[in-house]
Amino acid sequence: MRTIRTPLLACLLILSMSVTAFAAEQPQTVIGADENGTSIAITDITPREDEENAQTAGQQTNYRAGSFYPIEIQTAEEGGIRLLVKTFLVPQGTDPAALIEEGLTRRGVEYQVSDILRREVAGESESKTVTETVAMPSETDDAQELLELFAGSIPYSQDGFAGTLTLEPESIKTKAADTEGYAYTLKDTKEFSGLDRNDPYYIPKTSQKNGVALQLADVRWEPMASAAENSEVPSLFSATATYTGTAWGSKASGYLATATYSGEVRKTSAGDLLVSVVYEEIPMETAASINWSAVLLPVLGIVLGAGLLAGGWLGAKRLLQKRRQKKTSQPVGSDPYAGRPPMDMPELLYEMDRGLEENR
């Protein structure tokens, strides 16, 4: 019986030594120890302040991603996988990668980024009527030629407004842009009557017209009446005097034509971006994978060790049985103690020792 009990105790001892404790040791405080070596230990299980703060911070939900808050949060399920969609309204030029949250956990479920959806939102529109005057140089002031000089429409782009303006033909006007001087002959005619004779002395030699001094150029005489009846000698005369001179003037050598264009223009402000970040559930085996090699190797070692011990114990038992069978199979004549019952030597010695103690 003792031969069986000893290998079993050895196996249990090996199994207990193979178990590794991974639990964190709790802080203990030793109060004292007596003369037998017995000590009293107190374990402090009160949560520390930093641990409470860490737990409180972990329970708080951070809704902010980068510098923006989501305008909508939706949940869905696709093919048995839970989805979480966060939608943001951000200005143009915002990098969608800044809206991604790493290690996102919601209600105990871990998520990872699956897709990013991006859509532009149209901005506000504003319109107004615009009038613009265009000036063009011209060599003539002819209305038909001026109409061909201007285009029927022109583009407009200013202060964010854009559109097309149309020509108003009745608004076309011209003015002299350049002038040049020239000389011309200025004439003036004057009449004189009731002259008693046709003497040029009675006719002025100069005259004024438009500020220009004219010189007498010609005189024509006409008889008006005679002094006596049946007399052919006139007694009164009339004169027509012609004066001439050189005057200076100026004329346009070039024109500046102007025309008015009008029309409705529109301004559209830049819109925002609607970005949706799609998260998908992380499977449990992926979220918390088990290192089977670290678990199976110690167990396999324990099993192999126990098998070796059991095999050694069985081999020793068989060897003892063979030896006993060999002894019992020997002839009676060769062994003087053959046929006698086996003696339990340890028990016999124990009885002898007990007898000696009693005799004392």
> pLDDT (tens digit, 9 = 90+) per residue, 259-277?
999 999 999 888 888 999 9
**Per-residue pLDDT at 44:** 45
pTM of the predicted structure, to 2 decimals? 0.37
Structure confidence at residue 322 (pLDDT): 79
Domain ranges of the chain: 126-177+253-269, 180-250
Q: What percent of the chain has pLDDT over 90?
A: 26
Dihedral, CA of residue 135, residue 137, residue 140 and residue 142, to nearest 10? -20
pLDDT higher than threshold 90 for residue 231: no
Q: Which residues pair with 189 in a beta bridge?
A: 242
309 confidence band (pLDDT: 50, 70, 90):
confident
Per-residue pLDDT, averaged over 324-341, amounts to 59
**8 A C-beta contact, residue 30 and residue 41:** yes
- Is pLDDT above 60 for 8? no
Counting Cα atoms < 13 Å in the Cβ hemisphere of 338 gives 11
- pLDDT tier at 303, thresholds 50, 70, 90: confident
Please check whether residue 278 is in contact with residue 83, taking contact to mean a CB–CB distance below 8 angstroms: yes
Local confidence band at 334 (pLDDT 50, 70, 90 cut-offs): low
Q: Provide, rounded to the nearest whole percent, the portion of the chain with pLDDT above 70.
A: 66
- Confidence band (pLDDT; 50, 70, 90) for 55? very low
72: left (phi over 0), alpha (psi -120 to 50) or beta: beta
Q: Identify the residue with better confidence: 23 or 128.
A: 128
Question: If pLDDT is split at 50, 70 and 90, which confidence band does 21 have?
Answer: very low
The confidence score (pLDDT) of residue 124 equals 82
pLDDT tens profile 286-298 = 445 566 677 777 8
Q: Residue 116: what pLDDT?
A: 92
Rounded distance between C-alpha atoms, residue 337 and residue 331, angstroms: 11
Contact yes or no for 280/83 (Cβ under 8 A): yes
**pLDDT of res. 355:** 56
pLDDT classification of 211: cutoffs 50, 70, 90: confident
Q: Is the pLDDT of residue 134 over 90?
A: yes
Distance of CA 24 to the CA centre of its chain: 46
Report the distance separating Cα 274 and Cα 89, nearest Å. Answer: 5
Mean pLDDT of the chain: 76
Q: How confident is the model at residue 87 (pLDDT cuts 50, 70, 90)?
A: very high
Whether residue 258 has pLDDT greater than 90: yes
Q: What amino acid occupies position 347?
A: E
Per-residue pLDDT, averaged over 133-149, amounts to 88
Q: Given this model, what pLDDT does residue 336 score?
A: 57
Confidence grade of residue 183 (pLDDT, cut at 50, 70, 90): confident
Confidence check: pLDDT of 106 > 50:
yes
pLDDT of residue 67: 77
